[in-house]
Amino acid sequence: MRLAAFFLILPFFLQLLGFGETPLGGGLCGELFRGKDLPLALQPPGFWLGLLFMLLLAFQMGLGGLFLLLPLLEVRPSPFFLRLGRGVAFTLVLLFLLSRTLGLPLPSPQGLVLAVAPLDPLSLLIVASSALGGVLLRE
């Protein structure tokens, strides 16, 4: 359970590397701060995609923290929370695959557009860690 919790928490902190323009790339949320001076109505589609992934990563980190804390309290996690953890991890993987291949419909100043995000090593590392954390969650 601790190893699964580690792999569910790790992607959030790996994403912090993506905000510093590292050689690994921007990660899932790298576009989040590029248009920081623009009003919300003029934000590019990458902003909304980054926001979606940041919310998923934050929720996944919270679940990972819960899975890390429950064994310390000698409480077994309920099957609902285990399914929720797997569901969030695999939703992140599915959205990653869709956003890198077909594109997701996202708001832009011109209306809804299908935005295909670039693929970088950091985002692959983040998604692999999420998937591994989801696989390691067992009832």
The rounded distance, in Å, linking the Cα atoms of 100 and 28 is 10
Q: Apex CA 64: angle with CA 75 and CA 77, to 5°? A: 25
Read off the pLDDT of residues 91-127 as tens digits, 9 standing for 90 and up: 999 999 999 999 888 888 888 888 788 888 999 999 9
Query: In the structure encoding, which two tokens stand for residue 76, read together?
Result: 């077994």
Query: In the structure encoding, which two tokens stand for residue 69, read together?
Result: 């804390």
The pTM assigned to this predicted structure is: 0.87
